[in-house]
Amino acid sequence: MHGPDTSRRLVATVLESCRVIVVIMGDPVHCWTTPRPILGGHLCLEGGCETGAEQRAVMSLHEAGWQPGMLCLTTINLDQLRMQQEKVSEKPTRKMTKAARPVVDRTVWLDAARAILIEQGVDAVKVEPLAAMLEISRSSFYWHFKNRQELLDALIEYWTEVNDRTLRSLVEPDDSNPKEREQLAKARLRQLVNLFIDERQFSSEFDMAMREWARKDAAVAKEVARIDRERIAHLQKIFQEMGHSKPDSLIRAKILYFHQLGYYLTGIKESQAVRTRVAPRYLEVLSGIKL
């Protein structure tokens, strides 16, 4: 039985070597093989497919709203896929040209842009360095973005999606009675503190890179300020549900949030284990809340 990581590695190899569009939906793996590359998020049907039946099937799926990664004209289980990969690896290999490489999806471009933003700043987020980093043709970029500015606009949205998705889920409306509401609010506050510690859910590097970008761009500064207000409002709501007045809750929220930003800005490096251990004490000293 192959684990998820192994499956993905096998799929990636076959994807590059045989030009197959693959999606893992548990087990088995569904894939569709094409004699030519798929361009962007659309099917490349110029010149037709190998058979009329295949073309009709592809067109039918496309019209039904299926994306390339969802196509399922063939079903191969993981063992068969592994055997296919082994056969491919036995053949003489040649490096694929950039034009022949499968086109990556939009999120891959955004992740690459995020990495460059964090390491080098917004001035380095350009199409050519991104394409070189991903080892693909620049033409792939224009399937997803009209120009560099559209990428930068999407990167701002991506930041809020990545770093604030979990935070927003912690402040869902609560119809419980006051006593239960207070206990639930404490639980949410504990989750929120853990969120700021867990880089998998909240990237402090991404957050700091956005703030550095905001120093140079008024529009970005406006968006960062909006997100700061939204986060503080979320914290304030949690404190209010714990029984504190609105003005007092706002002060507690600002103290906690500004402390967290200051921690990131100083560049202090502590293990997640250490931060998890001391976080409740920080919270108690800063806001008077004992979890």
Let me know whether 159 and 84 are in one domain: no
SS3 111: helix
Let me know whether 84 and 178 are in one domain: no
Q: Is there a domain that residue 133 lies in?
A: no
Q: Is there a domain that residue 108 lies in?
A: no
**Per-10-residue mean pLDDT for the chain, 291 residues long?**
38 35 35 39 32 45 47 40 47 44 78 96 95 88 93 96 81 65 83 83 92 96 96 91 92 92 86 84 80 67
Check residue 231 and give its pLDDT.
92
How far CA 237 is from CA of 149, 168, 172, 224, 249, in Å, comes to 35, 11, 10, 20, 7
Let me know whether 206 and 265 are in one domain: yes
Q: Is there a domain that residue 132 lies in?
A: no
On whether the CB atoms of residues 137 and 131 are closer than 8 A, the answer is yes
Check residue 146 and give its pLDDT.
93
Let me know whether 158 and 283 are in one domain: yes
Q: Is there a domain that residue 219 lies in?
A: yes
Check residue 114 and give its pLDDT.
96
**Domain containing 32: what range?**
4-100
Report field, pTM of the whole predicted structure over 0.75: no
Let me know whether 57 and 163 are in one domain: no
Q: Is there a domain that residue 46 lies in?
A: yes
Q: Is there a domain that residue 69 lies in?
A: yes
Let me know whether 245 and 183 are in one domain: yes
The CA-CA-CA angle for residues 89, 74, 7, to 5°, reads: 50
Let me know whether 264 and 173 are in one domain: yes
Check residue 291 and give its pLDDT.
67
SS3 149: helix
How far CA 261 is from CA of 78, 91, 155, 256, 267, in Å, comes to 46, 54, 21, 9, 10
